[in-house]
Structure 1
Amino acid sequence: MTARLHLPQVTLCAVSSVNVAATIRALEISLAQVDVAAALLLTDSPVTSAHPDITVVPIAPVTSSRAYSDFILTKLVDHVATSHCLVIQWDGHVLDASRWHPDFLAYDYIGASWPQFDDGHDVGNGGFSLRSRHLMQLCRDPAFKHSHPEDVAIARINRTWLEDQAMRFAPRALADRFAAERAGDVTASFGYHGAWLMPQAVGIEPFWTLYRELDDRDTIRHDFSAILKQIRQGRGGWKRALCLMLDQLRR
């Protein structure tokens, strides 16, 4: 068995009130390859994890995406004792620990790059991101301008101010090695974020099994077409496609 990547400076964190089973699965997939100081699932759901390294931390319900942003910006740091925090979600996790680069820890914020921006403030996505505890503390500073979503608040709205506080954002090329989302390549990155990437990242059948267990399937609505195109491939694909379309119609 290949030894796990040892990252004692990192706390693995996921915050969710929905799709909690899928979130636990993302934590488990990550922990299969990475040995961290702590792995936390912060949720109001009355769940227990069979994985010995996952600690379930009770929190108040996260009732919206805006509430999620507020928690990440103002409360998550209270649960992190290490120098860095690796934030993941149900639709993003570690892909290949052999693609880890020590330079990732040299920065205060790194996430998949945003191809829609060309002003140099294009790193990046918070759904699978590595951020320093120092940066997380600064997000509670009165001078920090709170907004939603939290990754845009950090990486665009407040980036210049954060850099003035000596915070370092990873360059785009390194961010693409760290994670894939709207840009990047899941066959070459350490991790990824985005349900539309999951059929490629984990395989169509594993993704479909996971999808059928989601309690909030609206999260795939924005990328419905991309997911539909992928899951209709292979044996039984037309049945999966029909089921996916019916799910969206019901909503």
Structure 2
Amino acid sequence: MEQQMHNKLKLPNVTLAAMTSVKLYETIRALTYSMQGIEFGEVVLITHRKPFSLPKGITYKHTSKLTDIDCFNYKMVYELGDYINTDYVLLVHYDGFVVHPEMWREEFLQYDYIGSPWPIPKPGTQHCYHDIYGNLCRVGNSVSLRSKRLLEFPRKADLIWEKDEDGFYNEDIFLCCMNKHRIEAAGMKIAPVEVAKYFGHEHPVPEVADVEKPFVFHKWWGRNEQYPRFENPWTKRWKAFKDVVRPLLFWRRIRR
């Protein structure tokens, strides 16, 4: 055990974090899986109620209940920084987490935001993947590494919370597209796709074809299908029970 700890990648200036009010079991599993091979400065679960059996090494931090996806997006932009005490945060979800700790690169820390590459929209289609000047933005994603400085920026700069062109609140679009010019003007950097492709994979875009093992993934699309899917055993049992009972109830209705 001591030898394993010694061989772990040490990231004392990075907090591993997840914020959610749903799929808590799956999210905790994603956190513990991400901790394999890495010793973070802190590991935090930000949620509205402390789970009964939180694994050792994960700290519970309270937030009001995330009632919907819009609430999640708002908190990610304006409140996440309140829970982070290190220079960076590595944000994961139940469907996106660290899968290849050996693929960590120190150059990731040269940027204030790095996530999986976004796809190139088809010509002539309306999309949100652009900055205010019309330049294509290729890097975003909520499963990401962000600097503490970037986390604090939206409130310090009084950024106005706005929907994107499609009429939705998306925190990564808000930061990496709609306010990219302000972030860069403040001296911060969003990673280019040439670096982001080594950090994470979500969409099977051409740039990631020559990168077999990303540090993190998000969503089980394309080659990401190989990565673990965690499922609450009680949810699984409940589904199995319903599958058994449903035909019996149907048969009872027919006999009436």
- Equivalence map 1:170-181=2 (5 Å): 170-181=191-202
Q: TM-score with structure 2 length normalisation?
A: 0.76
Q: Root-mean-square deviation (CA), in Å?
A: 2.4
Letter in 1 for 2:139: V
For 1:199, the equivalent position in structure 2 comes to 225
Name the aligned partner's letter for residue 137 of structure 1. E
2:146 alignment partner AA: R
Offset of 1:120 from its aligned partner?
Answer: 4.0
Whole-Å separation in 1 of the counterparts to 2:174 and 2:95:
21
Q: Distance in 2 between matches of 1:214 and 1:9?
A: 36
Query: Corresponding residue for 1:18?
Result: 22
In the alignment, which residue of structure 1 is the partner of 2:159?
Answer: 144
Structure number with greater Rg is 2
Structure 1 position 41 matched with structure 2 position 57: no
CA contact (8 A) 2:220 2:227 kept: no
**What is the TM-score normalised by the length of structure 1?**
0.77
Q: Which residue of 2 aligns with 1:124?
A: 140
Per the alignment, residue 189 of structure 1 pairs with 214
Deviation, structure 1 residue 214: 6.0
Classify the secondary structure of the residue corresponding to 2:32.
Answer: helix
1:232 is matched with: none
Q: How many Å apart are 1:131 and its aligned residue?
A: 0.4
**What corresponds to 1:219 in structure 2?**
none
SS at match of 2:227: helix
- Unpaired runs of 5+ residues, structure 1, are 216-239, 247-251
- 2:150 aligned with 1:135, yes or no? yes
1:127-169 Cα offsets, whole Å, 9 max, x none, are: x100000011112134424232100001000001110000111
Q: How does 1:1-251 map to 2 (within 5 A)?
A: 2=4, 3-116=7-120, 117=129, 119-126=135-142, 128-147=143-162, 148-182=169-203, 183=205, 184=208, 187-196=212-221, 199-202=225-228, 207=229, 210=231
Give, as a single letter, the amino acid of the residue that structure 2 aligns with 1:129.
S
Task: In structure 2, give the amino acid aligned to 1:113.
Answer: P
Conservation of the 8 A alpha-carbon contact between 1:49 and 1:56: no
**How many matched pairs?**
212
**CA displacement 1:90-120 (0-9 Å, x = unmatched):** 1011011110000000100000011135834
Match of 1:139, SS state, is helix
- Secondary structure (helix, strand or coil) at the match of 1:210 reads coil
